[in-house]
Amino acid sequence: MKLPVRLAVLFTAMAAATACAPQTSGNSSSGKDEKTGTLRVWLFQEVNNKPKEQVVDAVLADFRKAHADTRVTVEYIPVETRAQRIKAAFNDPASAPDVIEYGNTDTAGYVKDGGLEDVTEEFGAWDEAKDADPTARQSVTVDGKVYGAPYFVGVRALYYRTDVFEELDLEVPRSMDELASTAKKVRAARPDLYGIAVGGAYTYGAMPFIWANGGALATGKSGSYASAIDSAAAQKGIKAYTSLFGDDNCPAAKCAGMGGNDTVTAFASGKAAMAIGGDFSHQAVEAGKAKGKYAVVPLPGVKPGSIAPAFAGGNNIGVLKSTSHRTLAVDLMKRLASKETQGELFDAMGFLPTFTDVRRQAAAKEPFVKPFVDTLAAGTEFVPASPAWAQIDSSLVLPTMFQEVVSGKKDVGAAAGDAARKMNEAFGSAG
C-alpha cells in the first residue's frame, strides 16, 4: 500500500471509530429497585449550612433505623454551579445521585430532559400531601404528573427603612401608586438613597407588578402555552415597574443592570429606603447596615390595601430517573420533605414550609415571617410549567425586555411584543 492510501485508510478508520452521533446518555429508568445499598443525596449548600445539616442528619438517622443495610451519603452542592452539576448527573447516570434538591422553576425542564422520576402514585398516597398548598403542588406538577415533593417556599415582600420613613414622615405605601410616589419623595428628600431599589434583571421582583395589574406571563396550559406578556394588562404592569427607573428614584444607568441580589445588597448596605426582598433575604439584611432599622410588609397591589400576587419560588426534592433504589429513594424524599422536617427546617434556617398548617404554626412562632405568610395567603403565581421556561429564563428574555424599556431603546409595546415573540418561539420548540 502506498502511504497516502494508508493514511487515508487510517483516517477513515479513525472517523469510523469516533464518528456517528455526538454523545447521548441512555437515560431511562435503571429498571432496578434494590432494597439495600447506598443512596446518594444532593442538597443545596446554603450560606449558613450547619443548621440545615443537623436537620438532615436527624432525618437520615431515622431513615437508617427504618431500613437496615442501607447507607446514605449527602453532598451539599454549591447553588451557583447547580445547573452544571445536575446536567452532568443527567448525562452520566452512573455517577448521578438518587435524590436531589432542585429549584422549583426547573421542574418542567428537568422532566423534559428525562431526569426526574414520576412519583404521582406515591405522592397521591402520602397522607401529608393533602396539606401542601396549591402553588407548591403546582410547582412539582407537569402535565398532571407529580415529579417530587415541595421542600420549602420562598416569597418576596416589601422591605422598608423605618428610620427613613420616620425622619421624612412618610406612611407605608398601601398601593402601587403610593409605592411609586413614596419612593420619589424619599429620593427627592434624600438624594443619597434610592427610593426603592429596583433592577432591570430582577424578573421575580418585577413580575408582581404585572400580575397585580391583571397581566400574566403566559396563557394556556402545558403543551400549548402562548405568551401574554404583551397583553394590555401586562404592559400596564411593565410600565408601572419601569417607571421606577429614573433619576427620581433609581437611576437607569445604575439600576438597569441590577438583579435581585443587587437590590437587596443596596438595601442592606443602607443605599435604598425600600426594596423587594425574599424571606430568604432576611439574613443578608440583618448582616448589613439596615439591621434594626427596617420592617417588612406585603408588596401592595393596585387597589389600596390589597396585596400584589407574588412569585412562589422555592425548592423541591425529587428522585432521579436513573436511581436503582426507587422505593428507598421515594421514602427518603418523603422524609426529607415531611411536615416534621419542614417545621424543623424553618426553625433552623427560616425556610417557609410548603404545608399550610405547618406554615401557620411557623408564623405564630416567628413574627418576622408574618408579611411573607400573608403574601402567600393572598395568593401567589408561578411560572408556566413548561420546559420552555428554563430557556426563556436563561436566555434573559424578560430582563432584556425591562432593560430595553428602561434604557429607552424601545417603548413598552415594542419591547413586550419582542419578548412575546421570543417566548412563543421557545414554547413552540419546547412545548
**Using CB under 8 A as the criterion, which residues of the chain lie in contact with other proteins when the complex forms?**
2-4, 6-7, 10-11, 14-15, 18-19, 21-28, 87, 90-91, 109, 111-115, 200, 252-254, 256-257, 387, 390-391, 394-396, 399-401, 403-404, 406-407, 409
In terms of CB distance, is 124 or 408 closer to other proteins? 408
Report yes or no: 5 and 38 within 8 Å, Cβ to Cβ: no
List the alpha helices (DSSP H) in 28-142: 50-66, 82-91, 107-112, 120-125, 134-138
Q: How distant is the alpha carbon of residue 253 from its chain centre?
A: 27
CA atoms within 13 A on the CB side of 399: 18
Q: How far is the CB of 305 from other proteins (least distance, A)?
A: 35
Cβ partners under 8 Å of residue 161, min gap 6 = 267, 270, 272, 273, 274, 290, 293, 294
In terms of CB distance, is 255 or 296 closer to other proteins? 255
Cβ partners under 8 Å of residue 180, min gap 6 = 240, 243, 244, 249
Task: Report the alpha-carbon distance of residue 427 to residue 424 in Å, rounded.
Answer: 5
Q: How far is the CB of 24 from other proteins (least distance, A)?
A: 6
C-alpha torsion 168→169→171→177, nearest 10: -50
In terms of CB distance, is 203 or 400 closer to other proteins? 400
Q: How far is the CB of 95 from other proteins (least distance, A)?
A: 13
Name the DSSP class of 309. Answer: P
Name the DSSP class of 340. Answer: H
Task: Report the alpha-carbon distance of residue 76 to residue 43 in Å, rounded.
Answer: 5
Q: How far is the CB of 93 from other proteins (least distance, A)?
A: 9
In terms of CB distance, is 257 or 413 closer to other proteins? 257
In terms of CB distance, is 53 or 113 closer to other proteins? 113
Q: How far is the CB of 256 from other proteins (least distance, A)?
A: 5
Strand partners, 150: 316
In terms of CB distance, is 90 or 160 closer to other proteins? 90
In terms of CB distance, is 1 or 125 closer to other proteins? 1
Q: How far is the CB of 212 from other proteins (least distance, A)?
A: 24
Task: Report the alpha-carbon distance of residue 352 to residue 414 in Å, rounded.
Answer: 38
Q: How far is the CB of 384 from other proteins (least distance, A)?
A: 16
In terms of CB distance, is 60 or 255 closer to other proteins? 255
Q: How far is the CB of 366 from other proteins (least distance, A)?
A: 35
